[in-house]
Amino acid sequence: MKRRWPLILALLPLLLGMAVYGQVWRGWAAAFETTLARWFPGSGAQVGGFPYRLETELAGVTLAHRGSTQLALTVQQLRMNRGPWRPELTVLQGQGVALAAAAAGLSAKVSAPSATASLKLVTDASGLERLGRLSIMLPGARGTLELGNGTAFQAETLELHVREIFGAPSLAEPASPRLPQRGQFVVGATGVAVGQGAPISLAADVTVRGSRRLDDYRRWAETGGSLDLVMTGSDATGEIFKLDGSVVPLGTGTRLAGTIVTVCPLSVQAALNGSTPPAEQRLRAPIRLALETALPAPRATIGPVALSGLPADLATRPRRGQVPACPRLR
């Protein structure tokens, strides 16, 4: 027995340390459970994962926000975890995921067998919790875009990233007519096929501008809010088009104006007006076209699209005959 005392004394600090860490971990778990109760009211989520992580699982998750902007999320099985010492970052894994969003007469729905997401929340200098970043990966995504008529799409991979931009002034800078940046939405997708279109890769970067924080769509729309949009489409041969435009709310609808630089102008035109595209070889030098939507209908769509700037000598312009023809985009 006397010879065991040195071993017990040697292990005592370790045992005490584990006991103290267990109490601290339980405090972290309780804080996470409080957060989960706010995110998922009535779920009664319990946190496990001792000692290296905080983890919980929920089934049949349904969240919805109704108003001038509508958001909805359903997940059959949802697992969430975070590091005990990193409460600002939460990793989510879902099975049977469906997302829906609608505003100004435009809507989108997307579903996927599984999804992975990370949510980072940041506290600003005033103590207000902000959206530092939300990233969602949706492999095998399928969905619809409602731009006046339903258009189905599918993608091999679909990535969605959104963040809040804070620290900007409350009004536009005197040297700039545009309002400050308030948020950013980034889309990246591979193997995207829209309607009857061929699979291509898409990348879109949307910057949201407004006079105040983006916490109310109607106020944002009524105080001069706008979107700066840059979107590119490409395939294995190279870039097919690049859209650079501005989107503004207009009444109950939305107006888009900008330019498209493309090597497949007839294919782009057919995709915009919903007609069957003609056979078209890629131009050697891209051309720039002006794009503008008509005034929206009373029930709010993006309106008919007007594309102008097609050159009179388009048929005789040099083409890249040694590469695949322009893909069908819709």
Residue range 189-236, pLDDT digits in tens? 999 999 899 999 999 999 999 988 888 888 888 888 999 999 999 999
pLDDT band at 12 (very low <50, low <70, confident <90, very high): low
Task: Report DSSP letters for 42-72, one per residue.
Answer: T-----B-TTT-EEEEEEEEEEEE-SSEEEE
Which among 50, 56, 52, 51 has a CA at the least distance from the CA of 32?
Answer: 56
Task: Enumerate the β-bridge partners of residue 92.
Answer: 80, 117
Close Cβ partners of 192 (under 8 Å, ≥ 6 residues apart): 153, 154, 155, 156, 158, 199, 200, 201, 202
Mean pLDDT of the chain: 87
Measure the CA–CA gap between 164 and 121, rounded to whole angstroms: 10
Q: Provide the percentage of residues in the chain whose pLDDT is more than 90.
A: 57
Query: Domain limits of the chain?
Result: 104-316
Max avg pLDDT among 140-149, 171-180, 298-307 = 140-149
For 220, the 3-state DSSP assignment is helix
What is the predicted pLDDT for the residue at 10? 61
Residue range 111-162, pLDDT digits in tens? 999 999 999 999 887 778 899 999 999 999 999 987 656 689 999 999 999 9
Measure the CA–CA gap between 16 and 21, rounded to whole angstroms: 9
What is the predicted pLDDT for the residue at 293? 81
Specify the higher pLDDT residue, 253 or 14: 253
What is the predicted pLDDT for the residue at 218? 85
What is the predicted pLDDT for the residue at 81? 94
What is the predicted pLDDT for the residue at 298? 45
Which among 183, 246, 190, 186 has a CA at the least distance from the CA of 220?
Answer: 183
What is the predicted pLDDT for the residue at 89? 94
Query: In terms of DSSP H, where are the helices of the chain?
Result: 4-39, 217-222, 265-273
pLDDT at 11 over 80: no
Q: Once rounded to an integer, what is the mean pLDDT over residues 15-40?
A: 87
What is the predicted pLDDT for the residue at 35? 92
What is the predicted pLDDT for the residue at 292? 87
Which among 295, 234, 279, 287 has a CA at the least distance from the CA of 260?
Answer: 287
What is the predicted pLDDT for the residue at 14? 67
What is the predicted pLDDT for the residue at 206? 96
Q: Give the chain's end-to-end CA distance (angstroms, integer).
A: 83
228 with 207: CB under 8 angstroms?
yes
Max avg pLDDT among 2-6, 122-126, 235-239, 276-280 = 235-239
What is the predicted pLDDT for the residue at 300? 44
Which among 234, 227, 147 has a CA at the least distance from the CA of 189?
Answer: 234
Tokens of 200: 């291509």
What is the predicted pLDDT for the residue at 297? 47
Measure the CA–CA gap between 229 and 111, rounded to whole angstroms: 24
16 with 24: CB under 8 angstroms?
no
Close Cβ partners of 6 (under 8 Å, ≥ 6 residues apart): none
Measure the CA–CA gap between 241 and 33, rounded to whole angstroms: 47
The torsion angles phi and psi of 4, rounded to 5 degrees, stand at: -80, -25
Q: Provide the percentage of residues in the chain whose pLDDT is more than 70.
A: 88
303: left (phi over 0), alpha (psi -120 to 50) or beta: left
pLDDT band at 258 (very low <50, low <70, confident <90, very high): very high
User: In degrees, to the nearest 5, what angle opens at C-alpha 143 toward C-alphas 141 and 144?
Assistant: 155
Q: Once rounded to an integer, what is the mean pLDDT over residues 13-31?
A: 82
Task: Enumerate the β-bridge partners of residue 184.
Answer: 163, 207
Measure the CA–CA gap between 95 and 43, rounded to whole angstroms: 18
What is the predicted pLDDT for the residue at 154? 96
pLDDT band at 67 (very low <50, low <70, confident <90, very high): confident
The answer, yes or no, to whether the previous bond of 51 is cis (omega within 30 of 0) is yes
pTM score of the predicted model: 0.89
Which among 206, 226, 127, 125 has a CA at the least distance from the CA of 167?
Answer: 125
pLDDT at 301 over 60: no
